[in-house]
Chain A
Amino acid sequence: MARRRKSRHSGISEISFSRRGLETIFRLLIVYAMLGLLFLLNLTAVPVPHAGLIKPHLVLMAVYYWAIFRPTLIPTWLCFIVGILLDILSGMPPGLQAFVLVVTQSLVRDQRKFLMAQPYISIWAIFGLVVAMAAAIQWVLYGLANDMQWLALTPLAASVLVTFCLFPVVSMALIATHRMLSPGPRNSYS
């Protein structure tokens, strides 16, 4: 009886140095380059008034998308490290974004089976819920840690709205990189 592997798709843990392995590395690099670009765009200053306030959470979009379709690409430790880097470079206390990304990745990954069968519009709608939840967690944690000084909700709501509306744009790019990944073995659902 053939042994069932935990995942039939290539992820970080399956890199080897055969020819197929090098090809896999190359394709994975494209995916991670996309992730890196989103990370950098999340940080840069845009010369538009109040741009900083309504910054969309691009990294969250990527984490959500890959957690549904290829969770092996963004293992928990990667989410943690990216979150810590995002915190450190944004001047926020380290651990806030890390917590949000890790929790999002684990919750979405658990619901993979249900989510993968949904049409795109449902995935988008559920992303709205995810963004709202992430913003709520950040608001609560930051308020608790700052001696119960609660921040204004309006800019936060605006940022949630912008992130929600930009999801189709970013997910189009993510789908393009997804298609470039090597197809899994024939008998897998992809």
Chain B
Amino acid sequence: MRVRSRPRSLIKIATLTAWGPRMTSLLFAMAALVLFVMSFASPNNMRTLRTGAADMFAPVLSAVNYPIEQAAAYVRAVTGIAELQGENARLLQENARLREWYHAAMQLKNDNASLQKLLKVQIEPQHTFITARIIADSDTAFVRSILVLAGSENGVDEAQAVLGGEGLMGRVVEVGKKSSRVLLLTDMNARVPVFVGNENIRAMLAGNNTDNPEIIHLPPQTTVKAGDRVTTSGHGGLYPHGLPIGEVVAMSDGSLRVRLYADIDRTNYVRVVKRTDDPNLRIAPVSVPAAD
């Protein structure tokens, strides 16, 4: 009987297989742990690798995402609530338009108050945006971030603010050619300098991996009450000034948290704010209202 010799392996890690499968697993597990620790020690090392991988997978992910969105839309239509949806969509659109004007009006009111003190400030034109679709929701319990289908080819740059729906949603942290990663405000590591309330109290918004971030670093002897509006202050130069974020709400356990204007779960498209150095830019509504 002819003894069949083992065909040549494609993988010639001869020493590893000689040691045995347990040793191989141990080696890979150790390598994974070392990578993990290293990535916390120096986060910048993996940057090109991550953006490269995200770029590579972006078209595939958006292709896989598309049928899921279509299926969800189909299910909603088939269950016969399409008409209600139409009316609802119209009302939501009108509401969104009105809320944009509400934010603009609040901002104008604040400006008016500070201008009365200063007497001479120039009002500059508005920000410009890049619209992008969310393709991957990397919202695990550990990291809150999303992948959007716009990269350096579309003009996205690192550290640009990202708006979803009505309010600030996060910040671009990694930029590839075709895709970018956005770190959400609700992530544990997100910190935004903000103004709270009508008196523009300086504070910091800190995410804590829940849906409602908290406010930290309030100056002593200041009180914040529920209903106060939270906007970006622009301090530190990272976020533009005047972006709406949310409002303060009292949680059931008595602590004060922020309810975000941006509805992360229902957003499919985000706007990336193009970065300029002009501190006087403000957010104006996208659509001009018809003459009523």
Contact = CB atoms under 8 A, between A and B. Distances in A.
A60 interface: no
B217 interface: no
A99 B120 CA distance: 60
A61 interface: no
Interface string B102-139: 00000000000000000000000000000000111111
Contact of A51 (B11, B35, B137): B137
B266 A47 contact: yes
A168 interface: no
B40 A145 contact: yes
Interface string A61-105: 000000000000001110110011100111111111011001101
A12 B22 CA distance: 18
B32 A90 contact: no
Contact of A45 (B37, B57, B136): B136
Contacts of A51: 137, 139, 265
Contacts of B49: 88
A89 B39 contact: no
Q: Which of A13, A45, A47, A151 has the most CB of B within 10 A?
A: A45
Main DSSP-derived SS at the A contact region: helix
Interface string A93-125: 111101100110110011000000000000000
Q: Is the interface on chain B under 10, 10 to 19, 20 to 34, or 35 or more residues? A: 35 or more
B22 A106 contact: yes
A170 interface: no
B35 A98 contact: yes
Interface in B69-120: 69, 72
Interface stretch (A27-35, A36-44, A175-183): A36-44
A80 B265 contact: no
Interface in A41-62: 41, 43-53, 55
Contact of A13 (B11, B28, B35, B136): B11
Given A13-B10, A43-B61, A77-B11, A49 B36 contact: no
A16 B141 contact: no
A145 B57 contact: no
Interface string A126-154: 00000000000010011001100101100
Contacts of B143: 90-92
Given A12-B10, A89-B53, A103-B29, A47 B35 contact: no
A23 interface: no
Given A15-B10, A98-B35, A44 B64 contact: yes
Contacts of B35: 84, 94-95, 98
Interface string B51-74: 001100100110011001100100
A3 interface: yes
B214 to A, nearest CB: 13
Contact of A76 (B25, B37, B136, B141): B25
Contacts of B40: 93, 145
Interface of A: 2-3, 5-6, 12-16, 40-41, 43-53, 55, 75-77, 79-80, 83-85, 88-96, 98-99, 102-103, 105-106, 109-110, 138, 141-142, 145-146, 149, 151-152, 155-156, 159
CB-CB nearest 10 A-B residue pairs: A52-B139, A95-B36, A45-B137, A106-B25, A95-B35, A99-B32, A49-B265, A98-B32, A91-B145, A93-B39
